[in-house]
Amino acid sequence: MSKGRSISNKKLLSIAGLGWMFDAMDVGMLSFIIAALQKEWNLSVQEMGWIGSINSIGMAVGAFVFGLLSDRIGRKHVFIITLLLFSLGSGASAFTNTLSIFLILRFLIGMGLGGELPVASTLVSESVPTEKRGRIVVLLESFWAFGWLLAAVISYFIIPQFGWKIALLISVIPAFYALYLRLHLPDSKRFTKVKQKNSMLKNVASVWSRKFTRKTLMLWILWFCVVFSYYGMFLWLPSVMVMKGFSMIKSFEYVLIMTLAQLPGYFTAAWFIEKIGRKFVLVVYLIGTAVSAFLFGNADTLFMLILSGILLSFFNLGAWGALYAYTPEQYPTSIRGTGTGMATSFGRIGGILGPLLVPYLIAQNISITIIFTIFCVSILIGAASVLFLGIETKNTEIE
């Protein structure tokens, strides 16, 4: 396919979605690898927390840098660069034997991950019809669930028997897929029609100009609260299960069951987002996430643990789908990559603090119940920001 030709919605969704899936596979495997590294390298809970947080630091830098870059050189090129960065970095990390080198590579992998996600959602958002935009972007996000499922399956069958290094080598496959993307993915037509490309500094200033201040404030609060709680909870799920007395094999098995609930979460959100609207899905699914987090933290039986974990996956990932659909709709094409990247980047600060907070509080003998209550409150703040500051963008033509 030549650069100038159009691409069907289904083909665009599958190409961008597979890249998204490989991202999720990497993040998902990291939560299982942390549990495995703790045993192999005798890591403290603080060192375990730093593995997740350094990944988020890289994601914050990547979202900001590549968001700016996507408004200069295009969505497609940045999408491919970021895919290659995280894929090759992930493969290289399989050959490390020290925590320090592993952390450096996790930073680079994080940059690729952080840059790819907002750029992919921006590309898809700009390339599909208005009446289908929300649904298709949520369906794009649903590939995240398939990536997590793939990570859970690989981790369950590979890590205990063959080790975490083999699991990481499997994740290098996206590097080859990125080369395929270069040949088959056209850039956003909306982006190519923008006549004047402003300087990066001017784009950053525009995001916080009077016209967009309310939208930007709402997005930054929302992104911070959602990312803080998500990475704080989900990166620690296998380890929390182990802390509650289950073996590593059993904890992987239960997390796999919980992960399956992400799919109906996405699909119901994809249906509601065009039927009722973005604000409805975000507020309702975030409140559902908060309640589920509270129940998970207070679960004292296996049944309640798995049930609340399933509900947590269902509501949280449905909210993520709406978040990625809603964010690019707040800005015009000329600064869409910058605005989306900056909001995502600020959110990743929460992703740095969340995984660090858990081991710190555990070291202070704070219970899992209180820790998950903190995440519950964070999610409710995010829901309130959408409810009071957000505007509905269903069926509105993006500039």
pLDDT 10s digits, 231-287 = 888 877 777 777 777 776 677 677 778 878 888 999 999 999 999 999 999 999 999
CB atoms within 10 A of CB 28: 26
189 in any annotated domain: no
In degrees and rounded to multiples of 5, residue 87 shows phi and psi of -70, -50
Asked if residue 142 lies in contact with residue 267, where contact means CB atoms within 8 angstroms, the answer is yes
395 in any annotated domain: no
Q: What radius of gyration do the chain's Cα atoms show? A: 20
Amino acid residing at 182: R
Mean pLDDT value across the chain: 87
pLDDT band at 399; cut points 50, 70, 90: low
Q: Strand, coil or helix: what is 244?
A: coil
Instruction: Compute the distance between CA of residue 388 and CA of residue 390 in angstroms, rounded to an integer.
Output: 6
Q: Strand, coil or helix: what is 278?
A: helix
Instruction: Compute the distance between CA of residue 269 and CA of residue 288 in angstroms, rounded to an integer.
Output: 12
Task: Give yes or no for residue 389 having a pLDDT over 90.
Answer: yes
Nearest to 154 by CA among 243, 40, 309, 28: 28
Nearest to 375 by CA among 254, 289, 315: 289
DSSP string, 96-132: --SHHHHHHHHHHHHHHHHHHHHHHHHHHHHHS-HHH
192 in any annotated domain: no
Nearest to 16 by CA among 158, 119, 101, 91: 119
Sorted by sequence, the CB contacts under 8 Å of residue 288 that are 6+ apart come out as 311, 314, 315, 318, 319
187 in any annotated domain: no
Asked if residue 340 lies in contact with residue 328, where contact means CB atoms within 8 angstroms, the answer is yes
Q: What is the pLDDT of residue 2?
A: 39
Lowest mean pLDDT among 46-55, 61-70, 179-188, 215-224: 179-188
197 in any annotated domain: no
Nearest to 13 by CA among 204, 270, 191: 270
CATH code: domain of residue 330: 1.20.1250.20
Q: What is the pLDDT of residue 249?
A: 67
Residue 158 DSSP one-character state: T
194 in any annotated domain: no
Asked if residue 345 lies in contact with residue 295, where contact means CB atoms within 8 angstroms, the answer is no
Residue 309 C-beta-side C-alpha neighbours within 13 Å: 25
92 in any annotated domain: yes
200 in any annotated domain: no
Range of the domain at 61: 9-180+208-389
Mean local confidence (pLDDT), 303-323: 92
CB atoms within 10 A of CB 20: 25
Q: What is the pLDDT of residue 71?
A: 92
Q: Considering its fold, how many domains does the chain have in total?
A: 1
pLDDT band at 384; cut points 50, 70, 90: very high
Range among 96-110, 138-152, 165-179 rated most confident: 96-110
- What is the pTM assigned to this prediction? 0.85
Instruction: Compute the distance between CA of residue 32 and CA of residue 288 in angstroms, rounded to an integer.
Output: 25
Sorted by sequence, the CB contacts under 8 Å of residue 245 that are 6+ apart come out as none
Residue that the structure tokens 């296998």 belong to: 238
Asked if residue 238 lies in contact with residue 358, where contact means CB atoms within 8 angstroms, the answer is no
Q: Which two tokens stand for residue 134?
A: 């929300």
Asked if residue 91 lies in contact with residue 109, where contact means CB atoms within 8 angstroms, the answer is no
Instruction: Compute the distance between CA of residue 378 and CA of residue 231 in angstroms, rounded to an integer.
Output: 12
Q: What is the pLDDT of residue 196?
A: 67
pLDDT 10s digits, 12-58 = 888 888 888 888 888 888 878 888 888 889 988 778 878 877 888 99
